């Protein structure tokens, strides 16, 4: 269960941004979450509601967009997207290599927020 600390850190960033922009209320928060992340949308919203209670961001709706998993081939340096549902042992489409490192897919970030 990683949602609680993640939501706390997202809330901290949102409130900091709100304070420096004279925001009265945060209505929605657009998040980008990597497809490999085990953060669940429903839990994220529940935990966010919990941690944001009594703050400017209370009641804000999380709009979650999944970002694709990108790997880089260790042999030829080619970067390519993979479909998580196909499993985690894809071959490089350029050279057929099977050693890759993760470029993106596990991160989460705040894309923007809607405020009053
Ligand atoms: Zn390759």
The closest of 44, 62, 56 to 16, measured between CA atoms, is 56
Match domain 3-115 to its CATH number in 3.30.70.20, 3.40.50.720, 3.20.20.70, 3.30.2320.80.
3.30.2320.80
Q: What is the pTM of this model?
A: 0.83
31-86 pLDDT per residue, tens: 999 998 989 999 999 999 999 999 999 999 999 999 999 999 999 999 999 887 77
Query: What gap in Å lies between CA 116 and CA 105, rounded to an integer?
Result: 32
Element (H, E) at 27: strand 26-34
Sketch the domain layout of the chain as residue ranges. Answer: 3-115
How many CA atoms lie within 13 Å of 43's alpha carbon, on the beta-carbon side? 10
- Cα of 85 to ligand 1 centre, how many Å? 21
- Cα of 68 to ligand 1 centre, how many Å? 19
Around ion ligand 1, residues with a beta carbon closer than 5 Å are 73, 75-76, 78, 92, 94-95, 97
Query: What gap in Å lies between CA 70 and CA 98, rounded to an integer?
Result: 14
- Cα of 87 to ligand 1 centre, how many Å? 18
């Amino acid at each position: 269960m990683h949602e609680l600390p993640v939501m706390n850190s997202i809330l901290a960033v949102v409130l900091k941004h709100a304070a420096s922009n004279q925001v009265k209320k945060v209505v929605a928060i657009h998040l980008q979450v990597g497809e490999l992340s085990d953060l669940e949308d429903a839990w994220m919203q529940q935990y966010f509601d919990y941690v944001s209670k009594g703050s400017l961001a209370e009641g804000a709706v999380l709009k979650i967009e999944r970002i694709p998993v990108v790997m880089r081939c260790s042999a030829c340096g080619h970067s390519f997207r993979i479909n998580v549902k196909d499993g985690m042992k894809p071959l490089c489409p350029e050279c057929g290599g099977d050693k890759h490192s993760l470029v993106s897919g596990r991160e989460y970030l705040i894309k923007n927020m809607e405020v009053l």
